[in-house]
Amino acid sequence: MNVKSKAGKVRLALAATAAGGLVAGLLAAPPASADPVSLTLKYNCTFPLIGEQVVTAAIKSDIPKSVPVNTPIPKIIIDVTSTQNEDTWSGLNLVGATTLEGTATANSTVIAPQGNVAVKVPVILDKTTLPVSDTPVPFDLHGSGQAPAIRFSKAGHAKITVGDLKLNITPRDSDGNEVEIPDPTADIHNVACTLVPGQNTSLAEFDITAAGSAPTKPGTPTGTTTKDSATLTWGASTDADGDLAGYDVYGADGKVVASTNATTTSATISGLSADTDYTYTVKAKDAAGRTSDASDAVTVHTQKGAPQASAPTKPGTPTGTTTENSATLTWGASTDADGDLAGYDVYSGATKVASTGADATTATISGLSADTDYTYTVKARDAAGHESDASDAVTVHTEQAQPVDHPPTKPGAPSGTTTENTATVSWGASSDEDGDLAGYDVYGADGKVVASTDAATTTATIAGLTADTDYTFTVKAKDAKGNASAASDAVTLHTEKGQEPEGTAPTAPGKPAGTATQDSVALSWAASTDADGDLAGYDVYRGDQVVASTGATETTATITGLDADTDYTFTVQAKDAKGHVSEASPAGTVRTQPKPVEQHAPTAPGNLAAGTATKNSVPLTWTAATDQDGDLAGYEVYGADGKVVATAGADATGVSVTGLAADTDYAFTVKAKDAKGNLSAAAGPVAAHTAKDEGGTVSYGYTLKGSTFVKTPNGTAPLNGSINANLKLSTGEFTADLALDPTKGDFKLLGFLPAQAQIQLVPQGKTTGRLDPTTKILTSHSQVIAKLPSFTLFGIPLGGGDQCQTAKPSDITLTSTGVFAPTKGGDVKGAYDLSAIQNCGALTPLLSAFTAGKGNTITATLTPKK
């Protein structure tokens, strides 16, 4: 990246991290009744060059516990101090930044009865001078700001939550010039920061009270407990306005755990853990939404639960069968002396891959690789959480992957002829590139096979058809492995008319009606009459398909195998002994009953694994969960503290957890969830360690101008060129691309013979070095081959050429002559040796004697590119 001396432009990575601590959220000026509040949040901020970084903000202020209706909260005030680490100081110091200033905009929301109020809080960062020090040091930043007052028109409960923010940072050098990023796609004045998932973003909660007075504080509660419940009793409150409405009991986390009416001063909280302390307070509330002060706190201890006596016995050694990508295991059942065996867990190493209930001693693990060994053990568990010893291990080997197979081609369009009750269909032959064509299947309009042939036969006759009726057929080819082709085009054939029987047809039956269950319909209809007295029975149709038949005296039929919560339409036709068929009855529609809603949780995801971590993210993968209700909704990833850190959709089998700290241990579990909110058992935990934060880099470009003195021939050559360096901010180390222009030198051979040489200095690989963050002394190391295209003495050519060059590269070490400022450049100098030259013609030995040797020097000035 280029440096602009006037605008002070330079690539700057770590200056952006000065934004740490500017996240202030929503803070209120302290009125008389305000209480202190605090909240610490982590943000993912995407900075230029160094990418996503985690910024931590500690928020402190005073928020009133209650605010009267139509009385504004005082102006929102922000006051934040953030401590930056030694690495930040080193990075800023290296790139020449001496001061920082800027702004931030914090997005917050006030959730209130009148509606949510979005509040943007502008923050101004005080101009901060970086400490002067010989060694890297931490330093503090301070920011402050305010937003307008807010007025509430409705009484009730309100909450302030903190959201995302944007940063605008301006670092400056010692001349007061802005150190900024010229890349238009990387704007340090518009850095977006988003909240790391799974955090509590609630800064404060308060009540908005109507006119009048709140109830008095309830009397100190007392309590009794069982192993899983606590019953509290407290002294009644009074209310001067006579509108006492009830009481709310609060847990230690400030959430309501029970509520009563105005006349009830006791409450039972259930679902507690045995042998555990719980702390509660009570507040009274009136009809206008005002709440009293909290009662004094009471701490109660639940009774101890009865422990279970023993774990289940070790399961029997499992056996297994496999496919290409799955293994099915079966094991001997465990016993449990306490009679509370709950199920089994299958493990691959330390990872749980499947779970079953107490009655199931088989499990299938899917998502495996073909032709691979897998080893498993099984443990039993009981309802009290005891776990058996692991079974003996079993190793199974998945089957080899089958080669790709190709189905036959689509048969040619069929044609056909008919009789009164048959149809003969013919079609064009298919081909199969695998050479295993096995035959053809002919399908009716209902998708059922009505005829089959071998591979050589492309004609089939379908018998048992009804006269004077349309029939539609398609054909599919099949191979020896069971692959089927696409269906041919359809052909519709009409059977010939048959001989009309003597006599008359029955009259049409009455419209069918019925009652339904989830999967069946019971129909009934009015009987037909037949003038010939030979009524034979009835056929019930759904569309053109007969779904039930009865005798002449039966006018009811039950149709089963239906779908729940679905409309079905039926007609009925009567038939006589001579084959006459009546007109169809009017159509009747019946709807099956819906299925009851099931409440089954999904199975646990399998094979939870962590991929290669970056400094602030960990990729996780798992095998899919299943849900017998068919409403799997997605997955939740939990950190070691039990909070959700990432989510994924129902089709996902992996997610990247972001916003993590570098060089840190983490543990994660995953649960599946369904559309009704049921959660599976957890998969995992799986451990991961994030990569170390190696810091960002800054790119600089310089022009090089100077000269080199070559001692043996006693002459000087000018040097011109350029160098483009990538500086690592955390250490000062850099790599660079050095380019030197061809040059020409004047020398004195033997001290008096005028000679001239064309010189090309060709770098071999990267130039490396370090800019000391403390002393600001620059040191670089380069290897260079010297090429000599021509050598002249008194203007007479002596040798040279494309291959005329030093036999070995020269090691050139350059050191700045004083402090080197990356934004301003500086002077460098150094010494080097020249080896013997080669491939320069007949006079190579002579020329080498006059060039090779020690004591050669370089002096140069590096100037930032414009």
Per-residue pLDDT tens digits for 415-442: 999 998 899 999 999 999 888 899 999 9
Assign 22 a pLDDT band (cuts: 50, 70, 90).
very low
| Tokens read off for 689 | 């360690």
Q: Of 462, 439, 317, 438, nearest to 378 (Cα)? A: 317
Q: Report the distance separating Cα 54 and Cα 46, nearest Å.
A: 9
Name 372's Cβ contacts closer than 8 Å, sequence gap at least 6.
Answer: 397, 398
Is residue 502 situated within a structural domain?
A: no
CATH number at residue 324: 2.60.40.10
Is the same domain home to 297 and 360?
Answer: no
What pLDDT score was predicted for residue 717? 86
Assign 32 a pLDDT band (cuts: 50, 70, 90).
very low
| Tokens read off for 267 | 């409450």
Instruction: Check whether 79 has a pLDDT greater than 70.
Output: no
Is residue 454 situated within a structural domain?
A: yes
Assign 25 a pLDDT band (cuts: 50, 70, 90).
very low
What pLDDT score was predicted for residue 322? 94
Instruction: Check whether 657 has a pLDDT greater than 70.
Output: yes
What pLDDT score was predicted for residue 16? 33
pLDDT digits (tens, 9 = 90+) for 154-171: 777 878 888 777 777 777
Q: How many distinct structural domains can be found in the chain?
A: 7
For residue 597, CA distances in Å to 567, 629, 641 come to: 19, 9, 33
Could you tell me the residue range of the domain that residue 265 belongs to?
212-301
Sequence-distant contacts of 724-728: CB under 8 A, at least 24 apart: 724/699, 724/700, 725/699, 725/700, 725/701, 725/767, 726/697, 726/698, 726/699, 727/94, 727/95, 727/697, 727/698, 727/699, 727/700, 727/771, 727/822, 728/694, 728/695, 728/696, 728/697
Q: Report the distance separating Cα 256 and Cα 267, nearest Å.
A: 12
What pLDDT score was predicted for residue 77? 67
**Phi and psi dihedrals of 611, rounded to 5?**
-90, -160
Is the same domain home to 610 and 634?
Answer: yes
**CB-CB contact of 366 with 353 (8 Å):** no
Is the same domain home to 38 and 164?
Answer: yes
Is the same domain home to 43 and 163?
Answer: yes
Assign 1 a pLDDT band (cuts: 50, 70, 90).
very low
Is the same domain home to 348 and 216?
Answer: no
Is the same domain home to 171 and 118?
Answer: yes
Is the same domain home to 382 and 449?
Answer: no
| Percent of residues, the chain, with pLDDT higher than 90 | 47
Q: Which helix (H) or strand (E) holds 92?
A: helix 86-94
Is the same domain home to 663 and 746?
Answer: no
pLDDT digits (tens, 9 = 90+) for 517-549: 999 999 999 999 998 888 999 999 999 899 999
Q: Which helix (H) or strand (E) holds 89?
A: helix 86-94
Is residue 597 situated within a structural domain?
A: no
pLDDT digits (tens, 9 = 90+) for 184-201: 455 667 777 888 877 888
Domain endpoint, select from 158, 190, 208: 208
Assign 694 a pLDDT band (cuts: 50, 70, 90).
low
Is the same domain home to 126 and 176?
Answer: yes
What pLDDT score was predicted for residue 812? 92
For residue 592, CA distances in Å to 95, 547, 565, 793 come to: 76, 16, 5, 110
What pLDDT score was predicted for residue 9? 32
Query: What is the average pLDDT across 749-769?
Result: 81
Domain endpoint, select from 301, 335, 362: 301
Assign 81 a pLDDT band (cuts: 50, 70, 90).
low
Instruction: Check whether 15 has a pLDDT greater than 70.
Output: no
CATH number at residue 838: 2.40.160
What pLDDT score was predicted for residue 182? 45
Assign 27 a pLDDT band (cuts: 50, 70, 90).
very low
Instruction: Check whether 750 has a pLDDT greater than 80.
Output: no
Instruction: Check whether 152 has a pLDDT greater than 80.
Output: no
Is residue 8 situated within a structural domain?
A: no
Assign 69 a pLDDT band (cuts: 50, 70, 90).
confident
Query: What is the average pLDDT across 348-366?
Result: 93
Domain endpoint, select from 466, 494, 522: 494
Q: Report the distance separating Cα 818 and Cα 675, nearest Å.
A: 68
What pLDDT score was predicted for residue 186? 55
Is residue 2 situated within a structural domain?
A: no
Q: Report the distance separating Cα 553 and Cα 551, nearest Å.
A: 6
Is the same domain home to 87 and 186?
Answer: yes
Assign 11 a pLDDT band (cuts: 50, 70, 90).
very low
Is the same domain home to 722 and 854?
Answer: yes
Is residue 842 situated within a structural domain?
A: yes
pLDDT digits (tens, 9 = 90+) for 594-626: 987 667 899 999 999 999 998 889 999 999 999
3-state secondary structure of 120: strand
Bridge partners of 581? Answer: 575
Is residue 306 situated within a structural domain?
A: no
Query: What is the average pLDDT across 217-231?
Result: 93
Is the same domain home to 137 and 196?
Answer: yes
Is residue 308 situated within a structural domain?
A: no
In this predicted model, which residue has the larger pLDDT, 225 or 156? Answer: 225
